[in-house]
């Protein structure tokens, strides 16, 4: 079964990513290229961590055994 903390972490990373993208856009509009570049690096780090975490979640879900039960009414 998937560790709910991993899924919570993934959601938290997604929220951080959305915030960083907004900040990068704000920096670009306000002509602050140094800030935009720094924020872009943070976005890259968040994206990489999201990928690693999503892989952990996928592996955990792949390890859940399938239960095969006969359909109702089948004899």
Q: Is the pLDDT of residue 75 over 60?
A: no
**Above pLDDT 90, what percent of the chain?**
65
Tokens 């979640």 sit on residue: 57
Going by C-alpha positions, the residue among 15, 22, 23, 13 that lies closest to residue 46 is 13
Sequence-separated (6 or more) residues with CB below 8 Å from residue 17: 43, 46, 47, 50
pLDDT band at 25 (very low <50, low <70, confident <90, very high): very high
Sequence-separated (6 or more) residues with CB below 8 Å from residue 53: 6, 9, 10, 13
pTM above 0.85, yes or no: no
pLDDT computed for residue 28 by the predictor: 97
DSSP conformation class of 22: H
Summarize the confidence of residues 39-65 as an average pLDDT. Answer: 90
Q: Which residue has better confidence, 72 or 1?
A: 72
């Amino acid at each position: 079964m998937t560790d709910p903390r991993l899924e919570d972490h993934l959601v938290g990373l997604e929220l951080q990513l959305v915030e960083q993208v907004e900040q990068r856009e704000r920096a670009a509009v306000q002509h602050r290229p140094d800030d935009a570049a720094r924020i872009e690096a943070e976005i890259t780090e968040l994206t990489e961590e999201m990928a690693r975490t999503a892989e952990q979640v996928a592996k955990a879900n792949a390890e859940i055994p399938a239960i095969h039960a006969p359909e109702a009414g089948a004899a």
